[in-house]
Amino acid sequence: MVRYRTVYDSRSIEGADVSDVWERCGDILRCVGCDQVLVKSWLGRRCEACGLRLSMRGEALVLLDDSEAIKPLMSSSDAQSMAQAYRHPVRWQKALRRWVTSEYFPGRQWRQRKDAVLNSGRLLVIGSGTTCYANAIHLDLDNFPGVDIVADAQKLPFINDSFDGVVCEVVLEHVAQPLAVIDEINRVLKPGGCAFLLVPFLFPFHGHPADYRRWSKQGLQEEFNSFSETEVGLHAGPTSALINILTEWLYVASGLTFPRGYTLIKGAATALSFPAKFLDYWINRMPEAHRLAATFYVYAKK
């Protein structure tokens, strides 16, 4: 039986420094300005090949070729709300959301695929937020607790053929150029390496920090046609989608605004309706369930 690697929280990485990050991935880092392989002595200064600033934010390396372009995105109200939740989580709210939610993910296939990627070897987690896995490099647009490298997924700061596995969960909808991210995942994977992604289909807008698009099963198969093998399957099913859209509709119809109105209406409606999501234990097995999927998983092999 495939087992998850140990998951640790932000407290377990306190005291980490740039040397720790460099020790784990310094051999595969490259400058996003000129593609030059990085030298440790450049950190905190500039790339000697192109002059790009190589700064540190907290305990994370910042490898962005246009950090100014990221600032408006990360300063939006949705982005600030996301950052607040990541940096200062309220424990009881976090525990409550594990149960009182429209999200339900029955099925073994996606779990087996994710386990295979998590245990594949050198691992990159794109858009990690505060989700951390042992022996992985965690990358996001900001230095949330647990993030090792602050960078743009559309231009990854790694040399070709660097990783055995890549995990990228509910990220593609938040980037302006998702095909660039897919190409970058393919580029940094070693031959035979695998990626696991979660992607929304019937899912309400969630601008954390922005929200651009959705994908059908056929659309995903087309987007990942550059990989040697691609499997697209159901993750969250029709009832999850129905509850999520219905509770979102009630919020919109209330005339209230984000974030307080959203929390009040969406929260109350979800608390009343979430038990219905367990119907997906059976409905997800239906041959046409993909027509109303909330989210799909993608397993792609280079």
Q: In a structure prediction context, what are the per-residue pLDDT tens digits for the chain, which is 302 residues long?
A: 333 333 333 333 333 466 788 888 999 999 999 999 999 888 778 899 999 988 888 889 999 987 666 777 777 777 777 777 777 777 877 777 788 999 999 999 999 999 999 999 999 999 999 899 988 999 999 999 999 999 999 999 999 999 999 999 999 999 999 999 999 999 999 999 999 999 999 999 998 789 999 999 999 999 999 999 999 999 999 999 999 999 999 999 999 998 899 999 999 999 999 999 999 999 999 999 999 999 999 999 99
Surface-to-core class of residue 71, CB atoms within 10 Å of its CB (0-12 exposed, 13-18 middle, 19+ buried): exposed
Q: pLDDT at position 117, please?
A: 98
The CA–CA distances, whole Å, from 261 to 42, 200, 241, 254, 268 equal 48, 24, 21, 8, 11
Contact assessment for residue 161 and residue 188, using Cβ atoms and an 8 Å cutoff:
yes
What stretches of the chain adopt beta strand conformation (E)? 55-57, 60-63, 123-126, 136-140, 149-151, 163-169, 189-200, 229-236, 295-301
Q: pLDDT at position 293, please?
A: 98
Here the tokens at position 60 are 């994370």
In whole angstroms, what is the distance from residue 178 CA to residue 168 CA?
Answer: 12
* DSSP 8-state class, residue 5: P
The CA–CA distances, whole Å, from 26 to 22, 50, 61 equal 4, 19, 11
In whole angstroms, what is the distance from residue 173 CA to residue 221 CA?
Answer: 16
Residues 6 or more apart whose CB falls under 8 angstroms from that of 134 comprise 5, 6, 7, 8
Contact assessment for residue 50 and residue 33, using Cβ atoms and an 8 Å cutoff:
yes
Q: pLDDT at position 6, please?
A: 34
Q: pLDDT at position 69, please?
A: 67
Q: pLDDT at position 17, please?
A: 61
Strand partners, 194: 165, 301
| Region label for 121, one of left (φ > 0), alpha (ψ between -120 and 50) or beta (otherwise) | left
Domain range 75-301, CATH architecture: 3-Layer(aba) Sandwich (3.40)
Edge-to-edge strand ranges of the sheet holding 163-169? 55-57, 60-63, 149-151, 136-140, 123-126, 163-169, 189-200, 295-301, 229-236
In whole angstroms, what is the distance from residue 237 CA to residue 293 CA?
Answer: 4
